Amino acid sequence: MKLPLLAGTAALMILGGCDEINLGARKTDVAEPVVALEQITVSSQEVTIAGPHGFCVDPTETREKRKSTFVVLGSCAAISNAAHLPEPQVPAILMATVSPKTNGAPIATSTAALKRFFESDAGRAALSRDGKAETVEVIETLGRNGAFYIHARDSSTDTLAGAGGEYWRALFNVKGRIVSASVVSLKEFPISKTEGFNTLGAFADRIKAQNAVASTKP
């Protein structure tokens, strides 16, 4: 299958960065406290990433590369090893990947094409942590508030340490770039479909607000 430009960019973003982190490595065992950031500005200081209340940026897991920027957010209290800092209501890990600037069609007008792609073998392979389409079940996709949402389950053997198989992802545009925002469940603390979508929606809305991006109703 020849990938459309937009789908190909989205697939590369989804794959980028995920193999470099360890979700099971909590900061409670770290001797020196890590400063948990409420937000971080990346991609040539053009895009600000921030999460819902209780989530902070883990600066030790942020990766800035030529092709994309990758940011991980977790519990503010856990990252800083400080009990007085807030914790999120939903136990999960958040991830955000920011693409280089692109001239592709806007996400808001491409939801039908993205749905077809991510439900295809090529799309499910892009979602898979080990690159195999058969390991991914796309549970639901939808367009909402100018973003494309994916709810999927990944049974890859190459699963990130500490991560559950279920996750939620949103793709949307910010300042001429594509942002991929994800909510990843934890093995020990599975979350419901509603909790996953609500947390992801709050994450996407926070990023849009921090970058003054107006939402477009589907």
Task: Identify whether the C-beta of residue 96 lies closer than 8 Å to the C-beta of residue 207.
Answer: yes
Between the alpha carbon of residue 191 and those of residues 23, 34, 91, 163, 188, the distances in Å are 16, 27, 8, 12, 10
Q: Interior CA angle at 185 toward 162 and 201, to 5°?
A: 145
Question: Torsions phi, psi of 97, nearest 5?
Answer: -120, 135
pTM, to two decimals: 0.83
Task: Identify whether the C-beta of residue 165 lies closer than 8 Å to the C-beta of residue 155.
Answer: yes
Report the distance separating Cα 78 and Cα 37, nearest Å. Answer: 12
DSSP string, 127-189: HSTTS-GGGEEEEEEEEETTEEEEEEEE--SSPPTTEEEEEEEEEEEETTEEEEEEEEEESSS
Report the distance separating Cα 103 and Cα 69, nearest Å. Answer: 18
List the chain pLDDT tens, one digit each, 218 residues: 333 444 444 444 454 445 445 544 444 344 466 788 899 999 989 999 999 999 999 988 888 877 789 999 999 999 888 888 999 999 999 999 999 998 888 999 999 999 999 999 999 999 988 889 999 999 999 998 899 999 999 988 755 667 788 999 999 999 999 999 999 998 889 999 999 999 999 999 999 999 986 554 44
Report the distance separating Cα 28 and Cα 136, nearest Å. Answer: 32
In this structure, the strands spanning 147-154 and 177-186 are unpaired
Domains of the chain, earliest start first: 5-21+31-143+159-210 (3.40.1000)
